Structure formats: C-alpha cells, structure tokens
C-alpha cells in the first residue's frame, strides 16, 4: 500500500474516533471492506492494517495504542509520521528533479545535433577546398561515432547498470560502502545526512513518546530504515544501552566525531535524559533538521540553476562555434 493511501486511512480513522465513533462503525463509514472483515472476525486493527501492507513502524504504534487504550493518540502519531515521510520524500525528489531534467534535455539536444545537424554541415564542408579547423574535425568524428555506436553505447551502459545493481542486491559490503560514499558527496551528502538524522530522531522520538522502551524504539527504527548507516548506528547504540550505558553516552561513543548527530544535539539529548523529556527533545531535533533540509534543498536548487545554464550555454555555444569556424575562415579568405 502506498504511503499516501496509508496517510488517508490513518487520518480519516483518527478524526472519526476522535468524534466518539466506535472503531467498527468508523471502518464501515470509510467503506474499507477488508479491515471490516478482520474486525468482525475478532482480529485487532493492527492485524488488519498489517494484512493490508501498512508500514511496520505504524503497526508498532497502533499496537501500543491498542494495548494502552490510547488508539486515537497512536493514530495521530501515525498520521504525523506518514505525513512527514511523504513530505521528506518530496523534498529529496525536488532536490534531484531539476538537475536531472536539465541534464536530460541537454543530452537530447546534443543527440539531435550529432544525429542531424552536424551531418548536414559535414556534407556542406565537403565542397570546401581547405582543411577544416581541428574543433570542427573533432566534432565531425564525434558525430560519426555517435551515429555508428550510440545504441551499442546505450546497451553497454545498461549492462553496466545491471551488473552494478546485481552486485548491490547480493553484496552487503558493497551496499554499506555505497551508503557511506553517498554521505561524502558534496552538497547531496549534507542532504542525505539531514534526511538520516530527521528520520532517526523523529522515529525514536515518536516511539519513545508513546511509551515504547528506548531499546524497542531503536530496534524498530533500525528495522524500518532504508540504509545501512542508520541500521549500523541503531544496532551499536542498542548494544551499548543493553550494557548499561545511557542513550547520550552510547551516541557519543558510536558517533564520536559527531558526523551525524551534531555536538549541540548530543548536549540537548544528555540534558533531556535528566529532565525526562527525551521524546520531545528528539522530535525538536527532527524539526530543526527538517528546516535545515529545506534550506539545503533550496540552496542546491539555487546554486545548480546558474551552473546548469552555464553548462548548457558552453555546450551549445561550443558546438555552434565549432560548426561555423570553417565558414568564418572562408569569409576571411574571401
């Protein structure tokens, strides 16, 4: 089930239950036959949603709400989690969409020039009784290569991608190496770090704030993470916690360079352990990182726009100048 569908179900259900409508009647009003069938069979809401393919993190929250009698609060937290998750995904897509679109258009223009424009100029240059300039010769040779080997090149790139994908699927060490490599990529690495910290602190904060023990919150966050960086961090912190360490101490040991959790965040976490507000503090950190992520995405878009326009200008301008150089030289001779 898609995230948006899960969000709609949890949001509607939360509103109906908050209005005092019994769970089964709320499901009937929403006309969700599969859930109604499971509830009539005596199954719990969490079981029914799990069968529909709901996010396991949400299932854990709803199970806690069922056990504690605070289903409405759990559904509200589920709605918040799914809403933030969808928005976070949109922000990442926004950061990648613009440069990918510009690059794709540039490649299309380049292919069109190599395929049709340059060959037409080449046939005209055959009538010239002089040697062509080196840039023009290189451009014509490149056009020949594209016309003869373009589709072979595409097949080669696809096979390379397929091999890398198969290696990624079967090799855990390669997956870990790739996840770490992404973190050091300029600009995008910062976006990835902000995303990881946002998801990590929000997930643990929501679970811990709903009464789930910190060890279980870490375990659930690790299992629901989509990268090895989060999984490794949660696993190591969980191990240290089971040995009697505090959450802040465990974080400091595992992330001693503060490469993910910044020093000021660690200090906030340490103080919140003493005051008993760890859940709220983690959610506050998640909010700060989300704001930072917004800034990074806007910064990336603003900085890439002139660079990409410059790239397209140099690319197209260089091609046009190379094509018209012989004509300029002939004009000077005449």
What does the pLDDT look like over 181-196, one tens digit per residue? Answer: 988 888 788 888 988 8
Average pLDDT over residues 253-272: 89
Phi-psi region of 131 (alpha: psi -120 to 50; beta: other; left: phi over 0): beta
Check residue 156 and give its pLDDT.
92
The string of DSSP codes covering 285-312 is: HHHHHHHHHHHHHHHHHHHHHHHHHHHH
Which is nearest to 140 in space by CA: 124, 157, 158, 129? 124
What are the tens digits of pLDDT across the range 103-149? 788 888 888 888 888 888 888 887 776 678 888 888 888 888 888 88
Q: Look at residue 331 in the predicted model and tell me its pLDDT.
A: 59
pLDDT grade, residue 161 (50/70/90)? very high
Cβ within 8 Å of residue 195, ≥6 positions away: 88, 92, 293
| 222: three-class secondary structure by DSSP | helix
- Taking residues 65-83, report their average pLDDT: 86
| Comparison of pLDDT for 269 and 316, the residue scoring more | 269
Residue 129 has a pLDDT of 67
Q: Would you say residue 330 has pLDDT above 70?
A: no
The Cα-based distances of 159 to 3, 162, 164, 173, 184 in angstroms read: 32, 5, 9, 21, 27
SS3 content of the chain, % helix, strand, coil (to 5): 85, 0, 15
Q: Count the neighbouring beta carbons within 10 Å of the beta carbon of residue 139.
A: 23
SS3 label, residue 329: helix
pLDDT higher than threshold 80 for residue 332: no
> Apex CA 119: angle with CA 117 and CA 121, to 5°?
70
Indicate if the pLDDT at residue 162 is higher than 90.
yes
Dihedral-angle region of residue 32 (phi above 0 means left; psi in -120 to 50 means alpha; beta otherwise) = beta
pLDDT of 334 higher than 80 = no
Q: State the average pLDDT for the chain.
A: 86
**Would you place residue 293 in the very low, low, confident or very high pLDDT band (cuts 50, 70, 90)?**
confident
List pLDDT tens digits, range 207-231: 888 888 899 889 888 887 878 999 9
Asked if pLDDT for residue 304 goes beyond 80, the answer is no
Give me the domains of the chain, ranges plus CATH numbers. Answer: 3-79 (no CATH), 80-123+133-334 (1.20.81.30)
Triad 82, 87, 91: Cα angle to 5°: 145
Rounded to an integer, the average pLDDT of 65-69 is 82
Classify burial at 151, counting beta carbons within 10 Å of its beta carbon; exposed 0-12, middle 13-18, buried 19 or more: exposed
Predicted confidence (pLDDT) at residue 294 exceeds the cutoff of 70: yes
Query: Between the CA atoms of 105, 111, 112 and 117, what dihedral angle is there, to the nearest 10 degrees?
Result: 140
Average pLDDT over residues 15-26: 90
- Distance between CA atoms of 176 and 190, rounded to whole angstroms? 18
Give the integer Cα–Cα distance in Å for 25 and 31: 10
Least confident segment among 92-96, 215-219, 244-248, 279-283: 92-96
pLDDT above 70 covers what percent of the chain? 98
Segment 21-35 shows an average pLDDT of 90
pLDDT confidence of residue 119: 84
Q: 229-248, pLDDT tens digit by residue?
A: 999 999 999 999 999 999 99
Q: Which tokens hold the place of 155? A: 């097949």
- Taking the C-alpha atoms of residue 21 and residue 57, their distance in angstroms, rounded to an integer, is 25
CB 312, CB 106: distance < 8 Å: yes
C-alpha closest to that of 311 among 169, 163, 167, 110: 110
pLDDT score recorded for residue 114: 84
What percent of the chain stands above pLDDT 90?
29
């Amino acid at each position: 089930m898609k995230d948006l569908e899960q969000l709609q179900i949890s949001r509607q259900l939360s509103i109906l239950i908050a209005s005092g409508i019994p769970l089964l009647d709320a499901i009937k009003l929403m006309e969700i036959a599969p859930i109604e069938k499971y509830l009539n069979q005596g199954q719990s809401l969490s079981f029914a949603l799990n069968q529909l393919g709901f996010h396991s993190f949400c299932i854990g929250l709803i199970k806690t709400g069922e056990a504690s009698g605070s289903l409405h609060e759990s559904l509200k937290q589920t709605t918040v989690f799914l809403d933030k998750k969808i928005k976070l995904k949109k922000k990442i897509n926004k950061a990648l969409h613009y440069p990918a679109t510009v690059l794709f258009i540039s490649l299309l223009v380049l292919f069109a020039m190599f395929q049709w424009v340059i060959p037409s100029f080449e046939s005209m240059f055959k009538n010239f009784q002089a040697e062509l300039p080196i840039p023009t010769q290189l451009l014509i040779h490149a056009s020949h290569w594209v016309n003869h080997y373009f589709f072979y090149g595409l097949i080669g790139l696809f096979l390379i991608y397929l091999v890398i994908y198969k290696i990624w699927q079967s090799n855990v060490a390669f997956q870990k190496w790739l996840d770490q490599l992404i973190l050091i990529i300029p600009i995008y690495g910062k976006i990835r770090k902000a995303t990881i910290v946002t998801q990590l602190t929000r997930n643990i904060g929501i679970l811990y704030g709903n009464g789930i023990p910190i060890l279980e919150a870490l375990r659930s966050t690790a299992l629901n993470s989509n990268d090895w960086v989060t999984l490794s961090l949660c696993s190591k912190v969980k191990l240290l916690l089971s040995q009697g360490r505090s959450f802040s101490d465990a974080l400091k040991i595992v992330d001693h360079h503060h490469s993910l959790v910044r020093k000021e965040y660690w200090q906030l976490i340490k103080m919140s352990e003493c005051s008993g507000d760890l859940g709220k503090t983690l959610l506050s950190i998640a909010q700060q990182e989300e704001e930072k992520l917004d800034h990074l995405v806007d910064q990336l878009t603003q900085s890439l726009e002139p660079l990409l326009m410059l790239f397209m200008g140099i690319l197209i301008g260089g091609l046009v100048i190379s094509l018209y150089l012989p004509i300029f030289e002939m004009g000077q001779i005449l």
